[in-house]
Chains A and B, each alone.
Chain A
Amino acid sequence: MKILVALKRVADPDNANKVKIPPSGDRIDTAGLEWKPNPFDEYALEAALRLTEDGKAPKARAGEVVVVTFGPKETEQTLRAALATGADRAIRVDVTDDKLDGALVARALKALVEREKPDVVLMGKQAVDGDSNQVGQSLAELLDWPMATFAATIQEEQGALLVGREVDGGVAVLRVRLPAVVTVDLRIVAPTSVYSLKTARTHKYNDGVRFAALPAIMASKKKPLAEVKLADLTADSGLKVQYHGFEPPPARKAGIKVKDVADLVARLKNEAKVL
């Protein structure tokens, strides 16, 4: 099985306080931010690796995992990390975040999918910076492929995937015929969430994503990493979403101490006006 995994790098959410907005308010200042892969995309990569191996012998890949990211040269580090964890090949579409929106990424991915002809496109359900949650769905629409979003489990079948989605009150199970687009939720990296046809149903994975070992990190230098221009993928680079301004959330005000319950109720009623 050949799988295309779309990866985005995001500002490290643990250092979100470092996000700065210049006085002009027309953009987010990304200088000095620490970057890491979008966690949901890392889960998608882990799912792709599980789908292309026998869980007992995870070093041998059955099929191919290709990772793609949209970003400047520095984002190649994100791709290297993915190659070191087991992906076979990487593609970087050279562009910066401010020139992109979900619809444009989906258009470009469509062109890439037509070139690469994967059986499955896997990605996180959303990126934790913009939280747009659009690319997977738009891509499936553009390709006219079956789609399963927010996958919590995936089981490979002959020519199809059985995808479990956690919904209110239970689990909805979809069978999507290949080729298909699947976006994943966090439970996809639980020990018994993903099974390829090769992996025994008794196999239990370690919880979470796998870690790149040093020999694989060194070897990842030799894996192909191609650069593609956005213009080569889509002639239409227009944006459907435009941002009109940014402002930081208001600083948290100091709290107050209330005398007693009556005082609290009065203040909630008169000052906070929530009662």
Chain B
Amino acid sequence: MPRNIEQSFMKALFHGVIAEEMLFPFPEMSSDERENVSLLLDSVRRFFGANVDSAKIDRACRIPPEVLSGLKDLGLMGLQIPAQHGGAGLSSMAYARVMQEVGSLDASIAVTLGAHQSIGLKGILLFGTEEQKQRYLPRLATGEHMAAFALTEPGAGSDAAAVKTRAELSPDGKHYVLNGSKIWITNGGFADVFTVFARTSALEEGKKPRLTAFIVDRSAGVKSGPEEHKLGIRGSSTTELFFEDVRVPVENVLGEAGKGFRVAMEVLNSGRLGLAAGSIGACQTLVRMAIDRVQERRAFGRHIGGFGLIKDKIATMLAQIYALESMTYLAAGLIDAGVVDYSLESAICKIVGSETLWSVANETLQIAAGIGYMQDYPYEQLLRDARINLIFEGTNEILRAFVALSGMSGPGRALEDVARAMREPIKGFGLLSDFAIRKARTVLGRERMTRTHPLLSREAVLFEEHTGQLVSITEAVLRKHGRDIAEMQYVQKRVAEIAMDLFGIAACLARTTRAIERRGEEGARREIDLTSIYTGMAQRRLKQLVADVQDNDDELRKAVAVRAYADRAYPFDVL
């Protein structure tokens, strides 16, 4: 039996196991925390209303220092830092809700806060020793010190194994000496404390390096390059960082020496949820603008809101946002419930969050039409600000590969186990345990979603059926490609997208079930309708994805691309 199968909802789903106990009841914050957060959000909204001018931040390419210090005074820099280290100790759900609000108000500020605490100081929270926590967290919690996360290098973006920055142990064993540089570091211009990843082994072609995470003080000699000029989130600071013989005491190693890769992955797993939460907020702002616009703009003698195609856009946005919100808070709730492995769920939320926001921003700009394109109106800035989310904290392409490969690795191992057990029936019996028995049951008849409300039975059946599809496609491609699956990116993309839609449906079902149980069918009408629309959209996508696994032009596309690389251009000219 693959270990930890029950520790991730999505990993279990790849085995065909629907871990309903992780979905139901849909999580919620404690009433105490809800009250705290709603009081805080009230302050946040008023503070932004009185002090923050997003258009000005965009034009000036900086967040005014008095705004930043106001945010610190509000207590927004140590949201998840435990109280004993000077923070507010918010749960993941509460943190997400605050980031959602900030994301709805200003993207540059959301990214600055996120870089500080979603990733910048997260390594210290997750892996820091008690001494490191005591030394760094109190000042980070108040914002007296700001943090940044420094992984990316010119030759190492998504490929963390290609990190060149080198950390060498001094002869007396008391210091590491860091040399190298990092690029595109958010908060790079002013951060005081950096989580830096450097190799502690020699660079060898084709060999995985030993990566180590360090807490590095700016005062140790970290130099910043000039501010980058960006498409969006222009108020945030993005710079290069230079390390030239920067001496870092061995006490500042974060986690174990040589285990830096794991530190990076865990930090990013958790950070991605903050990004998804910010995306929800930005979507809500855009939808409000879109609705205002369609009720105000007239064409052919009526409000454009009366036209079917506009209604279609608005309904689609609402359903997408409902699904995104459900997925994000389900994942956050799983973390709060102590689930250790939420890597697939948070990656899915990041992909869906950034892509939903991009589509909502694009459609809102389309609805606004002419004024949408003009700099005197806020639409174009929101579109520019939204774009980065598809790129940073793991590109959506890399994350799709991650979702597919990480999801399929469990079944991959299980297949090996089952094959071994078959060869040695008696000795191998122990391997089959209850997972195999449960699995055998899924072959006989599909796993059931038993706790959804009967009003959602159509959607629940769709979920069950496509869970079955996910399992059989996973098995089929694993049998067909074996270890080569790592190279099969078309397959990975399809498997990942099936998984994404399944997570979306599951989250909507759990949340809407709770709504119906609390408020009855009529009280939960809005949730039921949005679930129905989202599931319908997901169903059409799933049908296409499943069909494409069998019938596709993958090879032809590869050949065309290879030819284009040789031509170095589009090959035709009508002249």
Answer whether A and B are interacting partners. Answer: yes
A residues within 8 Å of B by Cβ? 77, 80-81, 84, 206-209, 211-218, 221
Summed over the interface, the residue pairs from A and B with CB atoms below 8 Å come to a total of 46
A213 pairs with B75, CB closer than 8 A:
yes
C-alpha gap A206/B46 in the complex (Å): 13
Which stretch in B37-45, B57-65, B443-451 binds the other chain?
Answer: B37-45
A207 pairs with B50, CB closer than 8 A:
yes
Chain B residues with Cβ under 8 A from A211's Cβ? 42-44, 46-47, 74
Minimum CB–CB distance for A180 against chain B, Å: 30
Minimum CB–CB distance for A45 against chain B, Å: 14
Q: Which listed residue, B32, B35, B74, B83, touches A213 by the CB 8 Å rule?
A: B74
With a 10 A CB-CB cut-off, give which of B32, B40, B44, B76 has the most chain A CB atoms.
Answer: B40
The residue on A at minimum CB distance from B32 is A221
Q: Which listed residue, A80, A206, A207, touches B39 by the CB 8 Å rule?
A: A80
Grouping DSSP codes into helix (H, G, I), strand (E, B) and loop, the A interface class, with mixed when no group exceeds half, is: helix
Chain B residues with Cβ under 8 A from A77's Cβ? 35, 38-39
Minimum CB–CB distance for A233 against chain B, Å: 27
Q: Interface readout for B19-56 with A: 1 if CB under 8 Å, 0 if not?
A: 00000000000001001101110111011001000000
B residues within 8 Å of A by Cβ? 32, 35-36, 38-40, 42-44, 46-47, 50, 73-76, 79, 83, 88
The residue on B at minimum CB distance from A221 is B32
Minimum CB–CB distance for B375 against chain A, Å: 29
With a 10 A CB-CB cut-off, give which of B32, B36, B39 has the most chain A CB atoms.
Answer: B39
With a 10 A CB-CB cut-off, give which of A80, A212, A217 has the most chain B CB atoms.
Answer: A217
A215 pairs with B88, CB closer than 8 A:
yes
C-alpha gap A73/B513 in the complex (Å): 29
Q: Which 5 A-B pairs have the closest CB atoms?
A: A214-B75, A211-B43, A213-B75, A217-B39, A213-B74
C-alpha gap A211/B73 in the complex (Å): 10
A213 pairs with B50, CB closer than 8 A:
no
Chain A residues with Cβ under 8 A from B40's Cβ? 212, 214, 217
Task: Please name 16 further chain A to chain B contacts, defined as beta carbons within 8 Å, in addition to the given A213-B43, A217-B40, sorted by A numbering.
Answer: A77-B39, A80-B35, A80-B39, A84-B39, A211-B43, A211-B46, A211-B47, A212-B39, A212-B42, A214-B36, A214-B74, A214-B79, A217-B43, A218-B36, A218-B83, A221-B32
- Known contacts A208-B50, A211-B47, A212-B40; is A218 also within 8 Å of B88 by CB? yes
C-alpha gap A209/B47 in the complex (Å): 10
C-alpha gap A216/B74 in the complex (Å): 9
Could you list 17 A-B pairs, sorted by A, with CB under 8 Å? A77-B35, A77-B39, A84-B39, A208-B46, A211-B43, A211-B46, A211-B47, A212-B40, A212-B43, A213-B75, A214-B75, A214-B88, A215-B88, A217-B36, A217-B39, A217-B43, A218-B88
Minimum CB–CB distance for A79 against chain B, Å: 11
Chain B residues with Cβ under 8 A from A218's Cβ? 36, 83, 88
C-alpha gap A209/B42 in the complex (Å): 12
Minimum CB–CB distance for B89 against chain A, Å: 8
Chain A residues with Cβ under 8 A from B88's Cβ? 214-215, 218
Chain A residues with Cβ under 8 A from B35's Cβ? 77, 80
Chain A residues with Cβ under 8 A from B76's Cβ? 214
Minimum CB–CB distance for B473 against chain A, Å: 46
Chain B residues with Cβ under 8 A from A221's Cβ? 32
Minimum CB–CB distance for B66 against chain A, Å: 10
The residue on B at minimum CB distance from A214 is B75
Chain B residues with Cβ under 8 A from A217's Cβ? 36, 39-40, 43, 75
C-alpha gap A213/B88 in the complex (Å): 11
- Known contacts A207-B50, A208-B50, A218-B88; is A213 also within 8 Å of B39 by CB? no
